[in-house]
């Protein structure tokens, strides 16, 4: 297993844009249909914006109609963690990068087969690497 990346709040702030910091480090959410990857169709891999860990493949991406990039599975289940989120008087499952604990979005049980899951992520928490 890869060792966890630990940085101070100041280090994260200096590395990330204000929006990236707000979403990935403070559990914010970008507005629907505003992120650069919600309608993105190129082949490649989506990486954590904080630590560059490869997390999701374009092969598992689908159009959920929600305005956020959605995937039915991560590249490897060990790369993402799930945390119970009870904010805003709701019960949701938060998705985080297991390497740096960066907030990615949430996972819901209403996705397509074969997993039935919808990893609903923030574009600003991801960095896309095009397949060569």
Q: Which two tokens stand for residue 92?
A: 């949701």
Dihedral sign (CA 23, 29, 33, 34): negative
The H helix count followed by the E strand count for the chain is 2, 9
Instruction: Assess whether 50 carries a catalytic annotation.
Output: no
The candidate with the shortest Cα–Cα distance to 100, out of 21, 34, 18, 17, is 21
Residues with catalytic annotation? 120
């Amino acid at each position: 297993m890869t060792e966890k990346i630990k940085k101070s709040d100041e280090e994260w702030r200096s590395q990330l844009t204000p929006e990236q910091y707000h979403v990935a480090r403070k559990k914010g959410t970008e507005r629907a249909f505003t992120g650069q990857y919600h309608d993105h169709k190129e082949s490649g891999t989506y990486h954590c914006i904080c630590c560059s860990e490869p997390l999701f493949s374009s092969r598992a991406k689908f159009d959920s109609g929600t305005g956020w990039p959605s995937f039915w599975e991560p590249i490897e289940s060990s790369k993402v963690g799930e945390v119970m989120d009870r904010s805003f008087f709701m019960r949701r499952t938060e998705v985080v990068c297991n390497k740096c604990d960066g907030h990615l979005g949430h996972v819901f049980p209403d996705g397509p087969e074969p997993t039935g899951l919808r990893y609903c992520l923030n574009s600003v928490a991801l960095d896309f690497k095009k397949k060569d």
